[in-house]
Amino acid sequence: MAEVMIAVMPFHGHVAPMVAVAEAFLAAGHGVRVYTGGAFAHRFTMLGARVVTWARAPDFDEHDLPATFPALRGRKGPRQMLANVELLFVRTGADQAADLAHAYAEEPWDVIVADGLSIGAHLASELTATPWVTVSIVPLTIPSRDLPPPILGLQPAKGIIGRLRDRALRGLTGVASRGIQRAYAEERTRAGLPPDDLALEHAFISPDLVCASGVAELEYYPRSDLATQVVFVGELTRPRANDAALPSWWPDVETCVDPILHVTQGTLNVDPHDLIEPSFAALGRQRVLLIASTGRADVAELPFTAPPNARVAGFVPYDSLLPRLDVMITNGGWGGVLAALAQGIPLIVAGGDVDKPEIAARVAWAGAGVNLRTGRPRPRPRAILRAWRQLQTDDSYRANAGRLAAALAAHDGPNEVVEHTMALLTRNSSS
């Protein structure tokens, strides 16, 4: 049996899949510690894992990032993405590594299994000379000579001019990210590590094993240079029966004969004016039932009036909701997108910032949904209505979602992470 340290960035969307990974390691009999923010400690202690909370690293509230990182106040879109990457993920790296190194000194581990945005795990792996496994909980952001930069939400261009475009964009992205690259170099120095020539986009991925959530069918192709250490593991979190109470209006769902659409803005940047309000404006008079979730368990109401055909809750248990859905309207959170596709549900995706535009582009690329190309369709809510009609009249979207559902069903994500990690340790011990 192995001693495993699991490193998780303290965001709900990161914690949920890594809870499943921790549970799989524990079920296989391995010793598990988890390094994450204090707000999520209970999620892992309930499983029987031991928790190491952020101490030197600045623990933060994902619903009030500016309280810890004032430079994020008022930012959205590309400006937020760049600031998020630098402040939350890179410039906390040395302090994360210090916390982890302290935990290792108290009790060594055999391997560190990390959320793919935990750069502290990379630095800690070097400091402790222990193997490091990346669990990519968002679509792969490994750059490719065959693709545009993975942060712009662009599908691969075609033809000579298109390839020249992608090459130019890769160069421009490198220029735009120089500040973040500099931050990475400074964090290495703060951690007591020597300089390296690793490009930032490679600093987030293990050179030995990357367990990528999702399936190859959601990746762009052709791609001639995908890293050989990448394995696809499908979904990490699957809806399952739980004790969460169904909302009081749930009988309306059970008796509904009209199409049921779910509107969700995920759990980060949950301003309901961005997507829920325009969805209500576009579909409030259609023969559909709209189920909206606010993304906050303690917020089950909206600051505007819902139409008669809408129902609202903080969260709705997906094991009950997803089998009844016709379409999901989403901001593009990867976990929710995979959950919908695993049920063969086509999507309308409003990806506005961070990794969401990339996810929206991939869903459209796979033919399983419509990319609204904005995270805030508020000025043009009819785009949502057009997308809904497009999904209604073109059967290819549901067929492609079904194809992806079959691909996802072939995997057992958390257990595959355990199997691949143990195989890595076996190879290391025999070499």
Residue 295 sits in a domain of what CATH number?
A: 3.40.50.2000
Report residue 167 as tokens.
């090459």
First vs last C-alpha separation in the chain: 19
Does any domain span residue 192? yes
**pLDDT tens sequence across 385-431:** 999 999 999 999 999 999 999 999 999 999 999 999 999 999 998 87
Could you give the 3-state DSSP secondary structure of residue 159?
helix
β strands within 71-217, DSSP E: 111-115, 132-136, 210-213
| Same domain? 63 vs 83 | yes
* 89 vs 85, higher pLDDT: 89
Does any domain span residue 51? yes
Could you give the 3-state DSSP secondary structure of residue 230?
strand
| Same domain? 69 vs 12 | yes
Contacts 24+ apart (CB under 8 A), 223-226: 223/144, 223/146, 223/147, 224/144, 224/145, 224/146, 225/144, 225/145, 225/146, 226/142, 226/144
Q: Scanning the structure block, which residue is given the tokens 């609202």?
A: 312
| Same domain? 177 vs 263 | no
**pLDDT tens sequence across 148-201:** 877 777 888 778 888 888 888 888 877 767 888 999 999 999 999 999 988 888
Does any domain span residue 176? yes
Give me the sheet containing 3-7, strands edge to edge.
Answer: 50-53, 31-36, 3-7, 111-115, 132-136, 210-213, 230-234
Does any domain span residue 265? yes
Does any domain span residue 245? no
| Same domain? 223 vs 304 | no
Helix (H) or strand (E) holding 381, with range, is: none
Does any domain span residue 242? no
Total tally of structural domains belonging to the chain: 2
Cβ atoms of 111 and 133 within 8 Å: the answer is yes
Dist. CA 211–CA 40, nearest whole Å: 23
Does any domain span residue 241? no
Report residue 213 as tokens.
């959530």
| Same domain? 205 vs 166 | yes
% of residues, the chain, pLDDT over 70: 95
Does any domain span residue 244? no
In which domain, by residue range, is 68 found? 3-235+412-430
Cβ atoms of 124 and 195 within 8 Å: the answer is no
